[in-house]
Amino acid sequence: MAFLCSSLPSSCSVSIFSDSSTDVSRLIPSCRLRFRLRPVAASNVCVPSIDSSTFIVSETVSEDELWAAACLRVRTFNELNPSAYNIQDHRKYLAEREFEALKERISGKREGFTRVSCVNATLPLSQLSSSSSQDLCSACKFSDGIEDRVVVGSLDLNQCRWLPDEIAGTKPEGIGVDFARAYLSNVCVAKELHRNGVGYKLIEKSKGIAREWGITDMYVHVTVDNEAAKRLYMKSGFEQESIEPAWQARYLNRPQRLLLWLALPTS
């Protein structure tokens, strides 16, 4: 089961639960690279037995954790041949681009965004000691000052009127929509942790943060054929608001997207 995410406010796109595969060519607007990162189909891996009490889902507070989140996104949204020449350097390059773009968005330097937060789901390294999780641990590990942990899920919560190259939501209307509307993007979960409720936990945490920001309407984009992602969002309370015009999807060379909407309680 593979999920796909919503588009990246950094001008990136995304992959796993909402939809827009991370397009590094847009991380720095002045640099248009000649490739697009494609979502990776999940492989048949054994889902580890996880103690759910050890999950922490929270906003990123350190650059080490932010780097681990960037590495998870590169690992999730890209189908890279592990035997290809210089593959590790290429992964590092992609992670550095995403890391810098993340810092720019969170620091408020991206025009059009009132606020951006990177929300991560993490587990202690000791919970992922099996050989099937070795690559995940190596790529996405960080220290929180107490123990080594691994970023196993990540998303961006974007307080803004719209995301670049995506369908814009219509709610709320009138004055103040920049402050009351938010989009989820870059929603991803490590393939080793699928079916552990990580995506649902990330979305529920994001709802709480959004309410603290004064958000009343939350949106997420998902490709029309991504049934697993749509089930997750429907379970979380989203419903379909609109569909991307077919011509726009063809023009942007990507699968057609749905725009899903969720009304957040104001109290």
Report, as residue numbers or ranges, the catalytic residues.
233
Residues in the chain: 267
Instruction: Give the bridge partners for 157, in sequence order.
Output: 117, 184
**DSSP code of 19?**
B
Phi (first) and psi of residue 63, to 5 degrees: -70, -30
Report the candidate in 119, 206, 112 with the shortest Cα–Cα distance to residue 162.
112
Question: What contacts 30, CB < 8 A, 6 or more positions away?
Answer: none
Q: Do residues 128 and 48 touch, judged by C-beta distance below 8 A?
A: yes
Ordered alpha helix ranges (H), 129-243: 134-140, 177-180, 198-213, 227-235
How far from chain centre, in Å, is Cα 231? 17
Tokens, residue 238: 């989203």
